Amino acid sequence: MVRKMGVYVVLAFVLYGLFFYWYIFYFSESKLPFEYAGTKADPTTFLNGRELMLSEEYSKIRNLLFFLSTPFEWLFYFLILLFGFSKAFKRWAEKSTKYRLLQIAIYLIWLSFFAFLATFPLNYISYSLSKTYHISTQTFASWMKDELIDFWINYGTWLIIVPVLYWLMKKSQKRWWLYGWLLSVPFTLFMMFLQPVVIDPLYNDFYPLKNKELETKILTLADKAEIPAKHVFEVNMADKTNALNAYVTGIGSNARIVLWDTTLNKLSDNQILFIMAHEMCHYVEKHIYFGIGGYLLLSLLGLYLTYRLMNWVVVRWGKELRIADVSDIRSLPLFFIVLSMLLFASSPLTNLASRYEETRADRYAIEMTKNPEAAITSFQELTRSGLSQVNPPLLVKIFRYTHPSMLDRISKLEEYEIKHQNKE
């Protein structure tokens, strides 16, 4: 039975991978609808032939890696359970110390280490791909440093969560999901407060914008939007990537607007002002707080479904998976599988909400700056620097895109430009 389960799950993963390979490389069409041909959203008007070819190649491989990576983690954790590695990790932990908290820490380091090894090849392929297509400028040593920082941050976070979670499971088999969620609320807010000042600086150096003339323009724009901003931060990303980005991070007094130095190096002041106005909308319309609220509601539902599904799996296949009880630490890989599956399943909904907010931010920015040419050319440069698909396949857009496609964004800006030209 155990061998059959392993064969069936591996076969399912292979068939899943073949489906997405066929869908991305052969079935899906990324060509523009004919009505957009020759418009400013048409990549042939701002990308040369080589850039068009590279963007198609790069996007297809990246999309395939995306659809393979998360289910590969499910497969890994499932095999960890099926072949008794989870049981072995627990046994090694119990032999090492008699203290329960240390046992959990040791179990978790074994599980995290094997997960790191299992997912390393796909992560390296992704890094190597971005180097090959000149998106990444990062050395292997720098990339490896970031990977290890990720590892220890994830390990430290789970070292806080897992002991509390499994203590709650033992104390309340029917309500642990609710108590766990209640504790997650302040923890989530605390982590978001720390993100800009503790976690982000582990990866890069942040400092106030060096270009004071540009900073004055941005702060004038912020004052127009009634945002009490005193600084705009830039971050050194040129040593890692050629891509462009800007974002809002943190909450409360730690909230920041951040510009990558690559954005500063490649875009004009007017283009940057449009991007800054876009980011300011997220602050003005409190998108960060709506995002937190939505995340907490989904996490409540997610933890409840995790509780129900874990109980169902343990009752039905507990013997085969070597899990005697949900509250046994050996069930942790099952917890990760169920939680990850629910996150993946909910991504179309969360991405849809995010795309709606990003559309509003684009509209806000163009109304504030009233410079459609700068807005359109900034998106064209973002497309070029990241070798992005202007019109991604439907499933890619649904599962991957937190922002509208460049086709949607540029075409709306061009409509605005034409509309206001006619009024003049």
pLDDT number for residue 66: 95
The catalytic residue among 73, 234, 279, 358 is: 279
In the chain, the percentage of residues whose pLDDT exceeds 70 is 97
Q: Read off the pLDDT of residues 209-231 as tens digits, 9 standing for 90 and up.
A: 888 888 888 888 888 877 776 77
The CA–CA distances, whole Å, from 20 to 25, 61, 147 equal 8, 11, 27
In the chain, the percentage of residues whose pLDDT exceeds 90 is 67
Q: Read off the pLDDT of residues 322-345 as tens digits, 9 standing for 90 and up.
A: 898 999 999 999 999 999 999 999
Indicate if 415 belongs to the active site. Answer: no
The answer on pLDDT for 294 being more than 70 is yes
Q: With DSSP H G I counted as helix, E B as strand and the rest as coil, what are the percentages for the chain, rounded to 5? A: 75, 5, 20
Strand order in the sheet with 256-260: 206-208, 233-235, 256-260, 246-249
Q: Read off the pLDDT of residues 137-151 as tens digits, 9 standing for 90 and up.
A: 999 999 999 999 999
How far apart, in whole angstroms, are the C-alpha atoms of residue 270 and residue 285? 23
The answer on pLDDT for 424 being more than 60 is no
**Could you give the 3-state DSSP secondary structure of residue 211?**
coil
Lowest model confidence (mean pLDDT) among 152-161, 187-196, 354-363: 187-196
The answer on pLDDT for 2 being more than 70 is no
Task: Return phi, psi of residue 88, to 5°.
Answer: -65, -40
pTM for this model (two decimals): 0.91
